[in-house]
Amino acid sequence: MSRSWDPEILGLLGGIVVLLILGSAVGWVLARRVSDESGRPVVANLNDRIRAWWLMVAVFSVALATGGIGSVILFGLLSFVALREFITLTPTHRADHRTLFWAFFVFVPVQYLLVAVHWYGLFAIFIPVYAFLFVPFRSVLAGDTDDFLARTAKIQWGLMIAVYCVSHAPALLMLRIPGYEGQNAKLLLYLIVVVQLSDVLQYVFGKTLGRHRIAPRVSPNKTWEGAVGGIAAATLIGALLWWATPFTPWESAGVALLINLAGFAGGLSMSAIKRDRGIKDFGSLIQGHGGVLDRIDSLCFAAPLFFHLVRYGYT
């Protein structure tokens, strides 16, 4: 437990706090300066987002401070809420009720229990194999075959994205990296910092320089300038954080680039689901950001990739 407060973790957290103070200051100045009607809601939303970041950082720091179990519980709760948002917006039938009960109250806890007890073998196949097969079976027992394949796929997708993918973030804590024992919490922090900063920087570059939209029908706010600028800057920051990881600076840059690209793919894919359902956000739990799933969409795609890069490259 005490090992999780090594100086490098404090350095990372301190850096985040400095960034947040900076962000809050900029938000405060912008709120005083903004005069035109069109800019006001943008600045108000920016300040909401920054306030929410303070809260998210506080919650995450407390989870890290408790050692492994706190992080596992936190990500378990995030998965639960994300699945809730996902299933709420994907129409299911009355016949899926019992299946959904299993998804929420059996598959989510079991997946995170496997992370907590470091049972890698079952962790890796539990949802993609056994939950995958159980879902159609449980639904068919209710006797409704209308849209059967689509309904089944929706629940499977929800479990994959919101539970299986997200659970790879706390699963970093179960890896045994020679020469890096007891320091895995820093890898988790590195993943979150790089991917979330990439989101923030893409937003900042997009708002300031954004001209050319990447996929206007999918996500009107994503521009080439925002994506390239944000990913490049976050990759640079990832490289500069090499000291907290088992990577060399160049390796750290490469890893950061890959997870940022995966995060971008995640954000875009999840946007497509939202557009298909005709909604802007998955939820409204986090002021200014939307729902939990809106905040972690990039993490969903980046976490498994990062986990496997570390597992196959460094253990």
Instruction: Report the interface residues with another protein, using CB under 8 A.
Output: 84-85, 87-88, 92, 94, 97-98, 100-101, 104, 277-279, 283-284
Instruction: Give least dist CB 76 to another protein, A.
Output: 14
Instruction: Give least dist CB 126 to another protein, A.
Output: 20
**Structure token pair of residue 244:** 């907290």
Name which of 186 and 289 has its Cβ closer to another protein.
289
Instruction: Give least dist CB 43 to another protein, A.
Output: 25
Name which of 96 and 199 has its Cβ closer to another protein.
96
DSSP the chain: -GGGG-HHHHHHHHHHHHHHHHHHHHHHHHHHH--STTHHHHHHHHHHHHHHHHHHHHHHHHHHHT-HHHHHHHHHHHHHHHHHHHHHHS---GGGHHHHHHIIIIIHHHHHHHHHTT-HHHHHHIIIIIIHHHHHHHHHTTT--TTHHHHHHHHHHHIIIIIIIHHTTGGGGG---TT-TT-HHHHHHHHHHHHHHHHHHHHHHHHHH--SBS-TTT-TT-BHHHHHHHHHHHHHHHHHTGGGSSS-HHHHHHHHHHHHHHHHHHHHHHHHHHHHHT-S-S--SBTTTBSHHHHHHHHHHHHHHHHHHHHHHH-
Name which of 25 and 272 has its Cβ closer to another protein.
272
Instruction: Give least dist CB 233 to another protein, A.
Output: 35
Instruction: Give least dist CB 284 to another protein, A.
Output: 7
Name which of 90 and 183 has its Cβ closer to another protein.
90
Name which of 89 and 177 has its Cβ closer to another protein.
89
Name which of 27 and 283 has its Cβ closer to another protein.
283
Instruction: Give least dist CB 101 to another protein, A.
Output: 5
Instruction: Give least dist CB 89 to another protein, A.
Output: 9
Name which of 50 and 162 has its Cβ closer to another protein.
162
143 φψ region: left (φ > 0), alpha (ψ -120 to 50), beta (else): left
